[in-house]
Amino acid sequence: MKRLFFSVLSCLFVSTTALAGANDVRMENMTTQQLFGDLIKDLGAAMSYRAVTPAEPLGLLLGIDLGLEVTGSKMKNEMDGWKQATSDNGHNTIYNGKIHVHKGLPLGIDIGAYVGTVADSNIKSMGGEIKYAILKGSTVSPALAVRGSYTSMTGVDDLDLSTAGLELSISKGFLMLTPYAGLGAIRYEGEGVGINNTKFDSESDTLAKYFLGVNFNMGLVNFAAEADKTGENSSYSAKFGLRW
**Residue 238 near residue 215, CB atoms below 8 Å:** no
What are the residue ranges spanned by the domains of the chain? 2-243
pLDDT at res. 18: 46
User: What letter does residue 195 receive in the DSSP assignment?
Assistant: G
The model carries a pTM of: 0.90
What whole-number distance in Å separates Cα of residue 49 and Cα of residue 66? Answer: 16
Q: Residue 214: name the closest of 52, 98, 73 by CA.
A: 52
pLDDT at res. 60: 76
Does domain 2-243 fall under CATH 2.40.160.20? My reply is yes
pLDDT at res. 16: 42
Where would I find the beta strands (DSSP E) of the chain?
Answer: 64-74, 93-105, 109-118, 124-135, 143-154, 159-171, 177-192, 203-218, 221-230, 233-243
Run means of pLDDT, 10 residues per run, the chain, 244 residues: 50 51 94 94 97 94 93 82 91 96 96 97 97 94 98 97 98 95 98 95 97 95 97 96 92
